[in-house]
């Protein structure tokens, strides 16, 4: 039994059937920027400059993530698993767009990586939290039947590369971010 079938069918239960769609919708490409914008407004209002700058850097990194994800989705035709494989259940609705790479995983990895690269305190705790979050995201998109394991791996790479590019460029060209 392959990993996708194991997660999508082998671990099927009512709890996951209820929770996975909520996680999937709450971490979507249109929700994450809204949450970051709300946090940015709050950070601006409370004069939390370091948090504000990290959130701005997250937006900058997400620009690269969206460009990479949509370029790959348009370039590489890969139907969703539930469309191609008869043994894969679709647990929650999606846009039906190409599967490769996982935008949910890429977005999550981008934001998590930027935070990990810029926050110096409690680094070991942040690493553990990011790892746990990425496991939850990988599980969520495969349990939902919308991504293959390769899509998840590609999403992790896209997110990490996007974060590195944004942090590098901000240090090199944007003085306001270099002291974060």
Q: Using pLDDT thresholds of 50, 70 and 90, give the confidence band for residue 28.
A: confident
Domain of 172: which CATH number?
Answer: 1.20.144
Q: Using pLDDT thresholds of 50, 70 and 90, give the confidence band for residue 15.
A: very high
Host domain of residue 93: 3-178
The per-residue pLDDT for range 60-118, each reduced to its tens digit, is 999 999 999 999 999 998 999 999 889 999 988 777 778 999 999 999 999 999 999 99
Taking the chain, what is the end-to-end CA distance rounded to the nearest angstrom?
46
Residue 101 near residue 78 (C-beta atoms within 8 A): no
Residue 129 near residue 111 (C-beta atoms within 8 A): no
Return the axis-axis angle of helices 123-143 and 103-118, rounded to nearest 10°.
Answer: 180
H helices of the chain, where?
Answer: 3-5, 14-26, 32-45, 49-75, 81-84, 103-118, 123-143, 149-173, 175-178
Residue (of 85, 81, 83) closest to 152 by Cα position: 81
The count of domains in the chain is 1
Residue (of 86, 53, 83) closest to 146 by Cα position: 83
pTM score? 0.89
Which pLDDT score is estimated for 92? 85
């Amino acid at each position: 039994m392959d990993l996708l079938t194991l997660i999508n069918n082998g671990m099927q239960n009512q709890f996951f059937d209820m929770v996975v769609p909520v996680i999937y919708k709450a971490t979507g490409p249109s929700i994450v920027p809204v949450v970051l914008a709300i946090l940015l407004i709050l950070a601006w209002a409370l004069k939390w400059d370091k948090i504000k700058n990290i959130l701005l850097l997250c937006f900058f990194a997400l620009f690269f993530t969206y460009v990479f994800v949509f370029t790959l989705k348009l370039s590489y035709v890969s139907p969703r698993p539930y469309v191609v494989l008869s043994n894969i259940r679709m647990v929650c609705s999606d846009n039906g767009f190409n599967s490769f790479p996982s935008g949910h995983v890429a977005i999550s990895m981008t934001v998590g990586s930027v935070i990990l690269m810029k926050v110096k305190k409690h680094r070991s705790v942040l690493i553990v939290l990011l790892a746990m979050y990425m496991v939850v995201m990988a599980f969520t998109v495969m349990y939902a039947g919308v991504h293959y394991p390769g899509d998840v791996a590609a999403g992790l790479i896209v997110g990490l590369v996007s974060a590195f590019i944004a942090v590098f460029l901000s240090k090199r060209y944007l003085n306001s971010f270099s002291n974060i």
